[in-house]
């Protein structure tokens, strides 16, 4: 990946990430997160992982963030400023900035790796990814499908409404019954 392209994409990713954490309207935060994930997807494609980059754009931006957006709209969240324990949050931000500086310093001083190992032609294509998934990582693949089944069952069980027998009060799947109720 050319250096100018990396700096452009990297600056865009950092600006979008700052936009996620600093904006007050949750929908604006979500749109900034979409820019960040798209940007990192493009970086994946630039690094040769074409299938993973496109999957990130399809699954992460196209499904997960849309789910986030539906939930924000369902709950009708409004813009809000910073509230709560502001002193603690300030010191937390200082600590996390120290973490960023430490990580950057460690990775900056690592030996610069200009000559990459020559990757086999077609690595990053869906053929090579599929061949690795279905041979070396088959057990993890099957367990992931069971995980998704458990996710579907859990999410429906948590978020559904249960009409009570009296019909007056609706409870959610995760609601705690009051004493005397079933």
Distance in Å, CB of 175 to other proteins, minimum:
6
d(CA 2, CA 181): 65
d(CA 60, CA 38): 9
3-state secondary structure of 152: helix
Contact in structure between 125 and 50 (CB atoms under 8 Å) = yes
Going from the C-alpha of 73 to that of each of 55, 59, 96, the distances in angstroms are: 25, 20, 30
> Among the residues of 47-110, which ranges form H helices?
50-55, 65-75, 86-109
Distance in Å, CB of 78 to other proteins, minimum:
10
Is 117 or 166 the residue whose CB approaches other proteins more closely? 117
Distance in Å, CB of 165 to other proteins, minimum:
19
Single out the residue of 41, 40, 68, 39 nearest to residue 55, CA to CA: 41
Is 120 or 179 the residue whose CB approaches other proteins more closely? 120
Distance in Å, CB of 179 to other proteins, minimum:
16
Is 76 or 165 the residue whose CB approaches other proteins more closely? 76
Distance in Å, CB of 39 to other proteins, minimum:
10
């Amino acid at each position: 990946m050319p250096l100018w392209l990396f700096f452009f994409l990297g600056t865009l990713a950092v600006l979008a990430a700052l936009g996620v954490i600093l904006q007050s309207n949750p929908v604006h935060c979500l749109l900034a997160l979409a820019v960040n994930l798209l940007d990192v997807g493009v970086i994946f494609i630039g690094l040769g992982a074409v299938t993973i980059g496109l999957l990130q754009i399809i699954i992460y931006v196209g499904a997960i963030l849309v789910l986030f957006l539906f939930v924000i709209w369902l709950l009708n969240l409004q813009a809000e400023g910073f509230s709560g324990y502001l002193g603690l949050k300030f010191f937390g931000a200082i600590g996390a900035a120290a973490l960023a500086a430490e990580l950057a310093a460690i990775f900056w001083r690592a030996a610069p790796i200009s000559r990459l190992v020559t990757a086999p032609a077609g690595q990053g294509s869906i053929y090579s990814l599929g061949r690795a998934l279905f041979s070396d990582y088959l057990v993890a693949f099957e367990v992931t499908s069971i995980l998704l089944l458990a996710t579907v069952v859990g999410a429906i069980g948590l978020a559904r409404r249960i009409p009570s027998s009296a019909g007056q009060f609706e409870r959610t799947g995760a609601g705690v019954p009051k004493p005397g109720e079933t």
